[in-house]
Amino acid sequence: MTRGIASSRGLLATMTVIVVCSGVVQGYLTPLLPKVGRHVGIGGVGQSNLYLLSQLAFAVMTPLLARLGDIHGHRRLLRACVAMVAGGSLLIAVWPTTATLAVGVTLQGAVVGFFPLLAGILRSRAPERGRVGMSVLVGALLISIGVGGLVAGALSEEHAVAGLWTAVPVGALAVTAALLLPDSATARGGNFNVKAAILLTLGLVALVLVLTQGDTWGWLSPDSLVTAVLAVSLLVVWVMVEHRSAHPLVDVRLLRAPRLAVVSAHTFCAAFGAIGFLGANAVFLGSDPEATGYGMGLGSQAIAFVSLAMVVAGCLGSTATPRLSRRVGDRAVLCAVGVIGATGFLSLILFHDSLSRYLVGALIVGLATGMFESITRALSAEVVAETETALSVGLNELALSLGAAIGAAVIGGLFAGHRLRGGHIALTGYLWCWGVCAGVALLGGLLGLGFRPVPAAGTGQVRPSLAQSGEPA
């Protein structure tokens, strides 16, 4: 491999720039929506619809962009994704209206392609840095999500839409970085199955709709039930079409591969609580104890700093994970993530009456978040053939998104069942929320026991991590 940007350190540094863009884009817009909404005339329903639109874009684009990368080249698709994100960010900043926000948020959904495509390039060009590289990228992602929200909030203090420019400079840097990256050396091939893509897209759209709107519609309402049945039916038909296709969009055999199945199920369980509870965490921190009998009464800026502290803990967990895997093995790390996450949520149940003790529990959850995002992304890249790397990581990203969405939906349902006449949530609702998250986290840890370590190619020996051997699975 040539010197310069193609060297492993230069490669990782360039990838980090792109991941920082992803984090800023994912973190800067949410705290701005109330002010921006008032400025451009978008009410609460419109703001909720923008969030829904972004979730739909995430779900639909994840498998499609990953598969297109495996077919047409990871660098080519990555450049297209970065251009979409940068263009959407610029559109929102220059011309903020209801229509342009909708278009911009949809274009920004292409950030879901960053990790799968970067994983394909990293595995091909610098396999010796697979684990460490993934942990660095996850840490950069978490930190930039927190910093992006803080910077955007600070900019919007003087003018409502000034914070919308937060993502523009990092988008421009990401475009430059994408132009400098080398392509993966992985063999390309296959055809894009349009019929399967349509079925998968419609099925995922219906699934995300019922998850995000179920609380508003009513979980047992006709709209929710019909949408849920439609989602299941479309996804079942999609699987049948893929089984019969000579050129499947997603090789469904990947979904039955034991190692990838365990990793994806673990990702789902970890994301259910660690990411699904973030909204509830902000509400609890902001609740006035004099009015509700619980909460910390923090302002938006203080809550943002708590969120930043959690992502710093996640960054520490992410960077420590490769070394921990080498010492105790991947299976032990997967189990430890479940135990650590459950410990954090149980701490919230026991010590929610003190800000300092509550923060300890929240930071433990943040630590588990960084660990699971690092180990599962690394393993999902390693447990398949190199030609399927991007698709495998993409499926793991989809498991993360669905786990977070379903976790948020379950927490929303628990809150709805414990809403008091004054409009606030009874403390029992939070206790149930933390208890369910702890239980699902423990389930993820138990699933980790089923992970079989990846053997080194051509040997019967177990390989604890890709970083040690540099060989593909």
Per-residue pLDDT tens, the chain, 473 aa: give them: 334 455 677 888 999 999 999 999 988 887 777 778 778 887 766 666 777 788 788 888 888 888 888 788 888 899 999 999 999 999 999 998 888 988 999 999 999 889 888 988 888 887 777 788 888 898 899 899 888 888 888 888 778 788 899 999 999 999 999 999 887 776 566 677 888 889 988 998 898 888 878 877 888 899 999 999 999 999 999 888 888 887 777 777 777 778 889 999 999 999 998 888 887 888 888 888 888 888 898 876 788 788 889 989 999 999 999 999 999 999 999 999 999 999 999 999 999 999 999 999 999 999 999 999 999 998 988 888 777 788 888 888 888 888 888 888 888 888 878 888 766 788 999 999 999 999 999 999 999 999 987 665 443 444 443 333 333 33
Dist CA 276 CA 55 (whole Å): 13
Can you tell me which residue has the tokens 């938006």? 300
Dist CA 86 CA 158 (whole Å): 24
Q: Which residues pair with 419 in a beta bridge?
A: 425
Are residues 299 and 431 in contact, defined by beta-carbon separation less than 8 angstroms?
no
Are residues 100 and 81 in contact, defined by beta-carbon separation less than 8 angstroms?
no
> In the structure encoding, which two tokens stand for residue 401, read together?
């998104």
Helix (H, G, I), strand (E, B) or coil at 93: helix
> pTM here?
0.81
Protein fold of 253-454+464-473: Growth Hormone; Chain: A; (1.20.1250)
Question: How many H helices and E strands in the chain?
Answer: 20, 0
CATH number (1.25.40.10, 3.40.1160.10, 1.10.260.40, 1.20.1250.20) of 1-187 reads 1.20.1250.20
> In the structure encoding, which two tokens stand for residue 281, read together?
């965490």
CA 220, 226, 229, 234 torsion: positive or negative?
negative
pLDDT digits (tens, 9 = 90+) for 129-147: 778 888 889 889 989 988 8
- The closest of 172, 137, 116 to 23, measured between CA atoms, is 137
Average pLDDT, the chain: 84
> In the structure encoding, which two tokens stand for residue 32, read together?
């701005």
pLDDT digits (tens, 9 = 90+) for 304-335: 788 889 989 999 999 999 999 999 999 999 99
Q: What share of the chain is helix, strand, coil (3-state, %, to 5)?
A: 80, 0, 20
Are residues 178 and 111 in contact, defined by beta-carbon separation less than 8 angstroms?
no
b/e map of 353-378 (b: 16 or more CB within 10 Å)? eeeeebbebbbbbbbbbbbbbbbbbb
- The closest of 164, 167, 165, 168 to 39, measured between CA atoms, is 164
Burial of 453 (0-12, 13-18, 19+ CB in 10 A): middle
> In the structure encoding, which two tokens stand for residue 143, read together?
């930190």
DSSP state of 453: P
> In the structure encoding, which two tokens stand for residue 334, read together?
């997967």
Are residues 100 and 92 in contact, defined by beta-carbon separation less than 8 angstroms?
yes
